[in-house]
Structure 1
Amino acid sequence: MDTGTHIVMGVALGGLATLDPVVQNDPTLFNAVLAGTIIGSQAPDLDTILKLRNNAVYIRNHRGITHSMPAVGLWGIAIPSVIYAFAPEVNFFHLWIWTFLAVILHVFVDVFNAYGTQAYRPFSKRWVAYGFINTFDPYIFLLHLIGIIAWNLGADPGYTFLILYFVIALYYVKRYFDKHEMVKKINGYYRDVEEVVTSPTIRHNVWRLAITTKDKFYVGRAVSGHIVIVDEFQRKPLPDMPIMNKAIQDDNMDAFLSFSPVYRWEIDEYDHYTEVRLIDLRYRSKGRYPFVAVVTLDDDLNILSSYTGWIFSEEKLQKKLDALPT
């Protein structure tokens, strides 16, 4: 989920903690728990700082090890321990339980969007992305805001957020069945489907679809359950040729390959250089595929420039790349 949603979830979990009699009867512990749930709801995204280094490092690592099982355990111990150092009179066990729950909730909700996490590490490095909740879901965010406002107006926070999370749980179930019905329709139409990647949008009834069959990739949209295919591409493996073998050694392209499950490739020759481009098919928007990896090489297969990330115009992409030879 986005940062704002994780913050309101942390606040909501602090309110829910008032159902715990030990927390409810100790104002100091309540404040410690509230701090723990807010910090715990943000901690796994500490790897966002990697953006300051470069996109390749960020893409390869974001929602990776910081969302893994060992990291969840470490966050769950480290955060309450630091808080406890400033408030040693509070009940550590109850502080730990609620803070740990906040960390778990952060990772848990992240697996339901299209970006996903490597939540199964160290047992598996595969990306877990169930793809039926948008990274920013306005319904989930607004429900949390309503609960927080009701709390400030005097409503009991424990029961308010208990009801709120019951409603959100039903919403998750509905979204799961929405996706299930779409996948069922697609499998009924294409007999050789290997994978269907769904990417919900901010609009509740609009989904992006990337379908992998034995021979083709299909890109489509689902609007109110009606599925439309807007693009199709031949499914071709990366060619075993010197220029491609060199390009995929580049850090930006290697990061893209570690993250993207559905992509196509292009090789374009120009007067003084050759461009190799990988294009993620999951995020088609306004007729473009904005998530790409690009490498340019000279005739001697020296890498001239490279980039990976989100680009919404060709002009901006060229600005991101280093100056090409004339």
Structure 2
Amino acid sequence: MDTATHIVMGVALGGIATLDPVVQSDPVLFHAVLVGTVAGSHAPDFDTILKMKSNAVYIRNHRGATHSIPAILMWGILIAGIIHAFVPQVNLFHLWAWTFLAVIIHVLVDIFNAYGTQAYRPFTDRWVAHGFINTFDPYIFLLHIAGIIAWILGADPGYTWLIIYTVILLYYIKRYLDKREIVRKINDYFPDTEKIATSPTIKQNKWRVAITAKDKFYVGTVENGHIQIVDEFKKIPLPKTKIMELAQKDANIAAFLSFSPIYRWEINDFDDFTEVRFIDLRYRSKGHYPFVAVVHIDDNMHIMSSYTGWIYSEQKLQNKLLFT
């Protein structure tokens, strides 16, 4: 989920914590728990600081180690320990338990969008991305805002948030069933389907899909249950050439390939260099594929420049390559 939603989820969990008799009877503990749930709801995304180093480092690591099983355990202990150092009189176990739950919920909700996480590390580096909740879902966010307003106006926080989270749970079930129906229809329409990446949009009745079949990639939308294919590409394995082998050694290309499960590639020859481009097919928007990785290699087999990330115009991409 996005940062704002994670933070309001932390506030919500602090409200639910008032149902805990120990928290309810100790105002100092309640405030400590509220700080812990808000911090715990955001903590796994502290790896966004890696963007300051490079896009390649960020893409390879975001929602990786910080969302892993060891990290989930570590975040709860670390945050609760820091807070407890400032208010040592509060019950450490209850402070840790609610903070730990906030971290778990952060990682749990992240696996349901198209970006996903490596939540099962260290057992596997596989990306888990179920793709049926938008990274920013306005319905979920607005329900949280409504809950916060109700709390400010005097509603009981514990029961208010329990009601809201019951509604959100039903909403998750509904979106899961929506996705399952889309997958069923695609499998019926393309019997040789091998993989389907779904990505919900802000509109409830519209989804983006990227389909890997035996010999082709299909990109399309599903709106009101109707599948519309807007692009199709022949599925061609990566060539075993020196140019491609060198391209895959570049940090930006390697980061892209470690993250993207459905992509196509291009090799374009220019006067002074060769361009190798990888294009993720999952995020098509307004006729454009914004998530790419590009490397320029000169005639002497030296990497001149490279870039990976989300880019929305060819001119901006070329400017990025020019100054890297």
The Cα shift of 1:82 comes to 0.6
Q: Distance in 1 between matches of 2:193 and 2:25?
A: 56
Q: Distance in 2 between matches of 1:242 and 1:323?
A: 25
Where does residue 224 of structure 2 map in the other structure? 224
Q: Distance in 2 between matches of 1:18 and 1:103?
A: 18
Q: Distance in 1 between matches of 2:220 and 2:322?
A: 33
CA distances 1:178-225 after superposition (whole Å, capped 9, x unpaired): 000000000011111111100111222211100001100000001122
Where does residue 12 of structure 1 map in the other structure? 12
Structure 2 residues without counterparts, runs of 5 or longer:
none
CA distances 1:25-53 after superposition (whole Å, capped 9, x unpaired): 11000000000000000100010000000
Q: Distance in 2 between matches of 1:48 and 1:188?
A: 40
CA distances 1:230-289 after superposition (whole Å, capped 9, x unpaired): 000011111101101101100000000000000000000011111000000000001010
> Would you say 1:210 and 2:213 are equivalent positions?
no
Where does residue 318 of structure 1 map in the other structure? 318
Q: Distance in 2 between matches of 1:84 and 1:323?
A: 47
Q: Which amino acid aligns with 2:294?
A: V
Where does residue 269 of structure 1 map in the other structure? 269
Where does residue 70 of structure 1 map in the other structure? 70
The Cα shift of 1:323 comes to 5.8
1:200 and 1:207 in contact (8 A); partners too: yes
SS of alignment partner, residue 228 of structure 1: strand
1:304 and 1:322 in contact (8 A); partners too: no
Q: Distance in 2 between matches of 1:269 and 1:202?
A: 39
Q: Which amino acid aligns with 1:80?
A: A
CA distances 1:156-198 after superposition (whole Å, capped 9, x unpaired): 0000000000000000000000000000000011111111100
Which residues of 2 match residues 53-202 of structure 1 at below 5 A? 53-202=53-202
Q: Distance in 2 between matches of 1:297 and 1:129?
A: 33
Structure 1 residues without counterparts, runs of 5 or longer:
none
1:29 and 1:90 in contact (8 A); partners too: yes
Q: Which amino acid aligns with 2:101?
A: L
Q: Distance in 1 between matches of 2:241 and 2:279?
A: 19
Where does residue 280 of structure 2 map in the other structure? 280
TM (norm. structure 1) is 0.98
Q: Distance in 1 between matches of 2:288 and 2:239?
A: 24
The Cα shift of 1:119 comes to 0.1
CA distances 1:300-323 after superposition (whole Å, capped 9, x unpaired): 111001000001000000010126
Q: Which amino acid aligns with 1:95?
A: L
SS of alignment partner, residue 83 of structure 1: helix
Identity of aligned residues (%): 71
SS of alignment partner, residue 249 of structure 2: coil
TM (norm. structure 2) is 0.99
Q: Distance in 2 between matches of 1:225 and 1:133?
A: 17
Which residues of 2 match residues 7-46 of structure 1 at below 5 A? 7-46=7-46
